[in-house]
Amino acid sequence: MLEELLKKVELEEIRNAGNLVPHAKLFGTELVVTTEPAALELACVVNKIRDVIVCGHSDCKAMNLLHAVRTPEEMMKTPSSPLRQWVSRHGATSLTHWEKFEASGFKAPLTFNLGSKTVVTHIDPDNKFEATDKLSQINALTQLQNVASYPFMQPLIKTGEMRLHALWFDIYTGEIYYFSQKKGAFAIVNEETSTDIMDEISAMYVHSEKAVAA
């Protein structure tokens, strides 16, 4: 189903370590030397792409590092490597969400502002995944929140002209999860769920033949 859908759209792909999108509040500081906001503006404003898809996956090495740097032992290390600095700086909000989630025994819902709405979210309600994979799912939604923080995105999101999606992949089972804003959770994509997921996605569309994968 997903493969057939992707054949019908134009994709512009933005990739980096941890799939991190710096928040708009940082624009004008270190963002002058990063490409993510510029690529987002190019895709969504100049090329008029109307779907942003943030993707995450299990056993993400960048998220594993972000999870590790929260420990006292790791915090004492000088963040000298580019990767450590990158994930520590731009993954901080994801880690804050994760720590709140951990403190609740991995049960409390989390809230994400996706521009046009605030979505109450339940991460891994069946407790299937490792702590670092829970962080990876949280990170995908945090990056959607960051995408929605840019002034050039906000009018498009609020009018429904721009749609935000998140996908999460289990690299060991091959299973794909779509973040259902309706359910407030990542829903596995299979024969039993595909109709409901496609109905939810279809309801979001007005006119669009393009998508951007972040």
Amino acid 160: pLDDT: 87
pLDDT in tens, 44-83: 999 998 899 999 999 999 999 999 987 656 655 655 788 8
Backbone angles phi, psi at 26, to 5 degrees: -90, -5
186: tokens are 């990542």
70: tokens are 């929260």
Amino acid 42: pLDDT: 92
Q: State which CATH number among 1.10.3470, 3.30.420, 3.40.1050, 3.40.50 fits the domain covering 2-60+93-213.
A: 3.40.1050
Amino acid 15: pLDDT: 86
The whole-chain average pLDDT of the chain stands at 87
Confidence class of residue 205 from pLDDT cuts 50, 70 and 90? confident
pLDDT in tens, 125-175: 999 999 999 999 999 999 999 999 999 999 999 888 899 999 999 999 999
Of 80 and 98, the structure prediction assigns the larger pLDDT to 98
Residue 44 marked as a ligand binder: no
Residue 55 marked as a ligand binder: no
Residue 190 CB-half CA count within 13 A:
7
197, 1 contact by CB (below 8 A): no
| Domain boundaries defined on the chain | 2-60+93-213
Amino acid 208: pLDDT: 46
Mean pLDDT, residues 73-101 taken together? 83
Asked whether residue 207 carries a pLDDT value surpassing 50, the answer given is no
